[in-house]
Chain A
Amino acid sequence: MVRIGIDVGGTFTDFTVLNQETGALGFFKVPSTPADPSAAIETGLRQILADGAVRPEHIGFLGHGTTLATNMIIERRGAPTAFLTTKGFRDVLEIGRQTRPHLYDYNRVKPPPLVPRALRFEVRGRLDVEGQELHALAEDDVRTACAALRGQDIAAVAIGFVHAYADPAHEQRAASLVRQALPHAFVTLSSEVLPEFREYERFSTTVMNATLGPPMAAYLDRLLTRVQDLAIRAPLYTIHSNGGLMSVGTVRRHPVRTCLSGPSAGVTGAAQIARRLGYPDAVTFDVGGTSTDVSVITDGTPAFTAARTVADYPVKTPMVDIHVIGAGGGSIAWIDAAGALKVGPHSAGASPGPVVYGRGGTAPTLTDANVVLGRLNPVALLKGALPLDATAGRAAIAGDIAGPTGLSPEVAAHGMVRVAVANMGRAIRSVSTERGHDLRGFALVAFGGAGPLHAAQVARECGIPTILVPRAPGTLCARGALMSDISLDFVATGLTDATTETWRATQARFAAMRREAEDWLAGEAVPVDQRGAQTMVDLRFHGQNHELSVPVAEPDKVDLSAVLEAFHALHRQVYGYTLPDRGVEIVTCRLKAIGRVPRPSEPPVGAETPVHAARTGERPVWFDDAEGWTDTPVFDRERLPAGADLSGPAVLEEMSATTLVLPGQRLQVEPTGTLIITETGLGR
Chain B
Amino acid sequence: MTETPLADPIGLEVFSNRLLTITEDMGNTLVRSSFSSNIKERRDCSVALFDAGGRLVAQASHIPLHLGSLLGGVQAVLAEVGLDGLHDGDAFICNDPYLAGGTHLPDIAIVTPVFCDGVPSFFTANIGHHSDVGGVVPGSISGQSTSVFEEGIRIPLTRIKAAGEINQGLLRLIAHNSRDPVERDLDLRVQIATNDQGAAMVRDLVQRLGADAVASSIDDLLAYTRRRLQTRIAAVPDGRASHTAWLDDDGRGGEPVPIVATVRIAGNHLGLDFTGTGPEARGAMNVPESALRATAYYAVKTVFDPDLPPNSGLFDAVTITAPDGCLVNPRHPAAVGARSITCNKVARAILGAFADLLPADQALSAGQDIVPVIVFSGQRRKHDGPFVYLESLGGGGPATATEDGMDAIHVHMTNSSNLPVEALEYEYPLLVEEYALVADSGGAGTHRGGLGLAREIRARTDGVVFSARSDGHVRPAPGARGGQPGRMARLIRNPGTDQAEDLSSKTAGLHLLAGERIRIETPGGGGLGPPEHRDAAALARDIADGKVSTAEG
A and B associate in one complex: yes
Asked whether B403 lies within 8 Å of A200 as measured between CB atoms, the reply is no
Q: How far is the CA of A405 from the CA of B9 in the complex (A)?
A: 8
Residues of B within 8 A of A571 (CB): 33
Residues of A within 8 A of B500 (CB): none
CB contacts under 8 Å to A, within B173-208, are: 182-183, 186, 189-190, 193-194, 196-197, 201
The reply on A307 being an interface residue by CB < 8 A is no
Knowing A88-B432, A419-B10 are in contact, say whether A541-B35 is a contact too (CB < 8 A).
Answer: yes
The reply on A654 being an interface residue by CB < 8 A is no
Asked whether B64 lies within 8 Å of A103 as measured between CB atoms, the reply is yes
Knowing A95-B435, A199-B422, A340-B6 are in contact, say whether A546-B31 is a contact too (CB < 8 A).
Answer: yes
The reply on B534 being an interface residue by CB < 8 A is no
Asked whether A339 lies within 8 Å of B6 as measured between CB atoms, the reply is yes
Interface size on A, residues (CB 8 A): 70
Within 8 Å by CB of A91, from B9, B35, B437, lies B437
Residues of A within 8 A of B231 (CB): 337-338
Closest CB in chain A relative to B76 CB, distance in Å: 26
Knowing A99-B410, A340-B9 are in contact, say whether A89-B435 is a contact too (CB < 8 A).
Answer: yes
Q: Closest residue of chain A to B36, judged by CB?
A: A543
Q: How far is the CA of A434 from the CA of B20 in the complex (A)?
A: 12
The contact string, 1 if C-beta is below 8 Å from chain A, for chain B 323-341, is 0000000000000000000
Residues of A within 8 A of B302 (CB): 104-106
Closest CB in chain A relative to B313 CB, distance in Å: 10
Residues of B within 8 A of A405 (CB): 9
CB contacts under 8 Å to B, within A100-153, are: 100, 102-107, 109-110, 116-118, 128-129, 134
The reply on A163 being an interface residue by CB < 8 A is yes
Knowing A129-B426, A544-B34 are in contact, say whether A99-B415 is a contact too (CB < 8 A).
Answer: yes
Asked whether A99 lies within 8 Å of B417 as measured between CB atoms, the reply is yes
The reply on B306 being an interface residue by CB < 8 A is yes
Closest CB in chain B relative to A242 CB, distance in Å: 22
Residues of B within 8 A of A338 (CB): 224-225, 227-228, 231
CB contacts under 8 Å to A, within B368-412, are: 382-383, 393-394, 397-398, 400, 402-403, 405-411
Interface size on B, residues (CB 8 A): 88
CB contacts under 8 Å to A, within B58-113, are: 61, 63-64
Within 8 Å by CB of B416, from A99, A165, A546, lies A99
The reply on A429 being an interface residue by CB < 8 A is yes
Closest CB in chain A relative to B306 CB, distance in Å: 4
Instruction: Tell which of A517-525, A576-584, A608-616 binds the partner.
Output: A576-584
The contact string, 1 if C-beta is below 8 Å from chain B, for chain A 62-79, is 000000000000000000
Knowing A98-B417, A423-B17, A575-B32 are in contact, say whether A107-B402 is a contact too (CB < 8 A).
Answer: yes
Q: Closest residue of chain A to B432, judged by CB?
A: A88
Asked whether B415 lies within 8 Å of A100 as measured between CB atoms, the reply is yes
CB contacts under 8 Å to B, within A405-460, are: 405, 415, 418-419, 422-423, 425-426, 429-430, 433-434
Knowing A106-B403, A128-B431, A419-B13 are in contact, say whether A95-B418 is a contact too (CB < 8 A).
Answer: yes
Q: How far is the CA of A140 from the CA of B394 in the complex (A)?
A: 33
Instruction: Tell which of B135-143, B276-284, B543-551 binds the partner.
Output: B543-551
Residues of B within 8 A of A579 (CB): 186, 189
Asked whether A95 lies within 8 Å of B423 as measured between CB atoms, the reply is no
The reply on A471 being an interface residue by CB < 8 A is no
Q: How far is the CA of A163 from the CA of B425 in the complex (A)?
A: 10
Within 8 Å by CB of A198, from B408, B411, B423, lies B423
Closest CB in chain A relative to B165 CB, distance in Å: 14
Asked whether B406 lies within 8 Å of A100 as measured between CB atoms, the reply is yes
Asked whether A576 lies within 8 Å of B186 as measured between CB atoms, the reply is no
The reply on B21 being an interface residue by CB < 8 A is yes
Asked whether A422 lies within 8 Å of B13 as measured between CB atoms, the reply is yes
Q: How far is the CA of A200 from the CA of B420 in the complex (A)?
A: 7
Asked whether B193 lies within 8 Å of A575 as measured between CB atoms, the reply is yes
The reply on B157 being an interface residue by CB < 8 A is no
The reply on A94 being an interface residue by CB < 8 A is yes
The reply on B41 being an interface residue by CB < 8 A is yes
Q: Closest residue of chain B to A547, judged by CB?
A: B32
Asked whether B422 lies within 8 Å of A88 as measured between CB atoms, the reply is no
Asked whether B13 lies within 8 Å of A341 as measured between CB atoms, the reply is yes
Residues of B within 8 A of A557 (CB): none
The reply on B490 being an interface residue by CB < 8 A is no
Closest CB in chain B relative to A336 CB, distance in Å: 7
Knowing A94-B437, A106-B364, A425-B17 are in contact, say whether A100-B397 is a contact too (CB < 8 A).
Answer: yes
Knowing A88-B435, A197-B423 are in contact, say whether A426-B21 is a contact too (CB < 8 A).
Answer: yes
The reply on A684 being an interface residue by CB < 8 A is no
Q: How far is the CA of A419 from the CA of B17 in the complex (A)?
A: 9
The reply on A177 being an interface residue by CB < 8 A is no
Q: Mark A residues whose CB is within 8 Å of B.
A: 87-92, 94-95, 97-100, 102-107, 109-110, 116-118, 128-129, 134, 162-163, 165, 197-200, 335-343, 405, 415, 418-419, 422-423, 425-426, 429-430, 433-434, 495, 497, 541-546, 571, 574-577, 579, 582-583
Q: Can you sample 8 A-B contacts with CB below 8 Å?
A: A92-B435, A97-B417, A103-B61, A104-B307, A340-B228, A415-B9, A543-B182, A582-B186
Q: Mark B residues whose CB is within 8 Å of A.
A: 5-6, 9-10, 12-14, 17-18, 20-21, 24-25, 28-29, 31-35, 37, 40-41, 61, 63-64, 182-183, 186, 189-190, 193-194, 196-197, 201, 224-225, 227-228, 231-232, 298, 301-302, 306-307, 364, 382-383, 393-394, 397-398, 400, 402-403, 405-411, 415-418, 420-423, 425-426, 431-437, 453, 456, 541, 544-547
The 10 closest A-B pairs by CB, nearest first: A338-B228, A98-B394, A104-B306, A88-B434, A117-B545, A415-B10, A422-B14, A97-B417, A575-B33, A105-B306
